[in-house]
Amino acid sequence: ETGVTQSPTHLIKTRGQQVTLRCSSQSGHNTVSWYQQALGQGPQFIFQYYREEENGRGNFPPRFSGLQFPNYSSELNVNALELDDSALYLCASSLDGRSYNEQFFGPGTRLTVL
């Protein structure tokens, strides 16, 4: 059984640029959630995708967008990067969108915005 994988591991961008982060969900899981973890803080929910549809969104502006593919892998896109977007971006997969299901986290993508 393959766990949750994310790419790239690290990324450096400049203000105003756009970035795409990728996540492969665990085998058998159809739901992917994305979280932003600032240094020294707990993860904050960005949004969740369930069977290719957005299924809930946190308090993040529209320049944070996502996509889920038929194989349930997912992308997080961030436009017009700001310095405060520097963080660890985590994706988590689960069996389905219900909150009782354990969320399995990937190792994250460290984004630095200069």
Task: Out of 56, 63, 79, 83, point to the residue binding other proteins (CB under 8 A).
Answer: 56
Q: Where are the beta strands (DSSP E) in 9-105?
A: 10-13, 19-24, 31-37, 44-50, 53-57, 64-68, 74-78, 87-94, 104-105
- Contact between 108 and other proteins by CB under 8 A: the answer reads yes
Task: Tell me how far, at minimum, the Cβ of 16 lies from other proteins, in Å.
Answer: 28
Q: How far is the CB of 2 from other proteins (least distance, A)?
A: 14
Binding to other proteins by residue 90, rule CB under 8 A? Answer: yes
How far apart CA 63 and CA 46 sit, in angstroms, is: 11
User: Is residue 66 near other proteins by the rule CB under 8 A?
Assistant: no
Binding residue for other proteins, selected from 41, 77, 79, 112, defined by CB under 8 A: 41
Residues shown for the chain: 114
End-to-end CA distance of the chain: 37
Q: Does 104 bind other proteins (CB under 8 A)?
A: yes
The rounded distance, in Å, linking the Cα atoms of 64 and 20 is: 10
Chain residues in the site for other proteins (CB under 8 A): 4, 31, 33, 35, 40-45, 48, 50, 55-56, 58, 90, 92, 94, 97-108
